[in-house]
């Protein structure tokens, strides 16, 4: 088992890891009508978004690198399909199979090459005009390890895990020409106690 998976398994043995901040609801006006559609919850953790998506009528595949997280997610949300996989290699999933991908705080653990690979991989999974909703650490997330200058793509080791902190320019680069950016907002989250600075984004695969 790789180091990040070990760290996340240990974290999920202690609960709760984060409060459910109902993050998905801010995107309500953008969400397509599920009509039995397929959604991917990438880095699902113990399933806050998986639960919300199921409640909305989506069929949900929950992907995480941590077995502990997936076991919890599956116990809380039995209809979800749980898949142990790394966000950088989702080749086990068929192309164009998801109308919606959620990546809530799960795409900020990689260097530049792996980040670009992960975002490109999501383009492959989404249907034409499919929607990606995500949230990543912002460059001024100082309470959670952001360096003074996050303008380069160096990762920072925080509590044994490599972390990436995004400037707006880096996030735009990650989304690349393959996604049309619909929304990009800096926000303070209180889900872990101390204020956390994040970029929330909504993007559509270029048709
Ligand atoms: C900050 S938690 C967010 C969990 C969940 N999305 C939520 O908002 O409650 C990050 C999650 O990403 C998962 N993760 C970290 N690196 C990953 C990777 N390379 N591939 C897939 N999942 C990963 C972790 O196991 C963890 O569950």
Q: 128 C-alpha to center of ligand 1: Å?
A: 25
Residue 207 has pLDDT above 90, yes or no: no
Residue corresponding to tokens 């990009």: 184
Relative to beta strand 126-137, strand 98-104 is: parallel
Nearest CA to ligand 1 atom 7: 45
The domain covering 3-205 belongs, at the CATH homologous superfamily level, to Vaccinia Virus protein VP39 (3.40.50.150)
Give the model confidence (pLDDT) of 164-197 as tens digits.
999 999 999 999 999 999 999 999 999 888 999 9
Q: Which residues line ligand 1 (CB under 6 A)?
A: 4, 8, 18, 43-45, 48-49, 64-66, 69, 86-88, 104-106, 109
Chain centroid to CA 120: how far?
Answer: 14
- The domain limits of the chain are 3-205
Give the model confidence (pLDDT) of 70-127 as tens digits.
999 999 999 999 999 999 999 999 999 999 999 999 999 999 999 999 999 999 999 9
What ligand 1 atom has the least distance to the C-alpha of 18? 9
CA-wise closest residue to 43 among 3, 111, 90: 90
Give the model confidence (pLDDT) of 130-165 as tens digits.
999 999 999 999 999 999 999 999 999 999 899 999
pLDDT band of residue 32 (cuts 50, 70, 90) is confident
Indicate yes or no: pTM above 0.85: yes
CA-wise closest residue to 141 among 161, 159, 116, 166: 166
């Amino acid at each position: 088992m790789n180091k990040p998976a070990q760290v996340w398994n240990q974290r999920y043995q202690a609960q709760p890891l984060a409060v459910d901040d109902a993050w998905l609801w801010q995107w309500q006006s953008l969400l397509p009508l599920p009509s039995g559609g397929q959604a991917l919850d990438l880095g699902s953790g113990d399933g806050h978004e998986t639960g919300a998506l199921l409640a909305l009528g989506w069929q949900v595949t929950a992907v995480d690198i941590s077995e502990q997280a997936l076991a919890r997610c599956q116990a809380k949300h039995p209809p979800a399909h749980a898949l142990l996989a790394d966000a950088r290699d989702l080749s086990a999933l068929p192309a164009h199979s998801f109308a919606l991908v959620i990546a809530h705080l799960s795409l900020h653990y990689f260097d530049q090459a792996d980040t670009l690979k992960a975002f490109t991989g999501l383009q492959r999974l989404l249907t034409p005009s499919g929607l990606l909703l995500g949230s990543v650490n912002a460059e001024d997330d100082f309470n959670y390890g952001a360096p003074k200058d996050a303008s380069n793509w160096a990762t920072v080791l925080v509590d044994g895990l490599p972390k990436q902190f995004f400037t707006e320019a880096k996030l735009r680069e990650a989304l690349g020409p393959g996604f049309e950016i619909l929304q990009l907002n800096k926000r303070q989250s209180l889900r872990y106690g101390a204020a956390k600075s994040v970029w929330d984004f909504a993007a559509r695969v270029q048709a």
